A and B are shown apart, each in its own frame.
Chain A
Amino acid sequence: AQTVTQSQPEMSVQEAETVTLSCTYDTSESDYYLFWYKQPPSRQMILVIRQEAYKQQNATENRFSVNFQKAAKSFSLKISDSQLGDAAMYFCAYRSSYNFNKFYFGSGTKLNVKP
């Protein structure tokens, strides 16, 4: 089974600064998808960004971007110009291209944003 590891249980960033959350994964598959989800205190899971493994270009969504290193099996999330509303748990997730239902999640990183 695939495994997803987030080695930073908690991180803090100053408002307007940049922070990077780390994620590594283990798989023998060549085609897959990677995701970052945000979970605020409301518990709602919100998709932040997605990366297809066959795409070399790193995905970006406004202030959120990823650094996808396929050979290293690394998938980090960079949040630029951090805002108070970015404070939440962030989960990295892996999904096979062969089974659209099987998502594997990391244990999460709690992001604190200081004013």
Chain B
Amino acid sequence: NAGVTQTPKFQVLKTGQSMTLQCAQDMNHEYMSWYRQDPGMGLRLIHYSVGAGITDQGEVPNGYNVSRSTTEDFPLRLLSAAPSQTSVYFCASKGPHSTDTQYFGPGTRLTVL
């Protein structure tokens, strides 16, 4: 049981490049989310999903796309990276019950030059 895994751990992009941050969980969780963490700020919700085929926007969705074709995977796509997207990105997953714990991945540190 690996929990929530994220790849890559570190990434450097140039402005305008695209890339996909990968997230996978092996706990059969329905709920998955993407957050970004900027210096001096807490985590902010980018997008989330309540199951395969269902996604919705969080607080800061602009510049990011997501899809959920399987229960296990929830990739985050940056179509045209900007320096303002330099951040640490966390994926999280959670079971369907209100008392279920949310588990976080180890994070991806992204730098956009």
Contact = CB atoms under 8 A, between A and B. Distances in A.
A34 to B, nearest CB: 13
A91 B50 contact: no
B58 A102 contact: yes
Q: Which secondary structure characterizes the binding site on chain A?
A: loop
A4 B90 contact: no
A6 to B, nearest CB: 8
Interface residues of A, number: 24
Interface residues of B, number: 28
Interface in B27-83: 31, 33, 35, 40-45, 48-50, 56, 58-59
B1 interface: no
A105 B43 contact: yes
Contacts of B31: 100-101
B42 A42 contact: no
Given A91-B43, A101-B31, A104-B42, 20 more contacts: A42-B106, A43-B106, A43-B107, A50-B101, A52-B99, A91-B42, A93-B42, A93-B43, A100-B98, A100-B100, A101-B56, A101-B58, A103-B33, A103-B35, A104-B45, A105-B35, A105-B43, A107-B40, A107-B41, A107-B42
Top-8 shortest CB links A-B: A105-B42, A45-B104, A101-B48, A105-B43, A43-B107, A106-B42, A107-B42, A107-B41
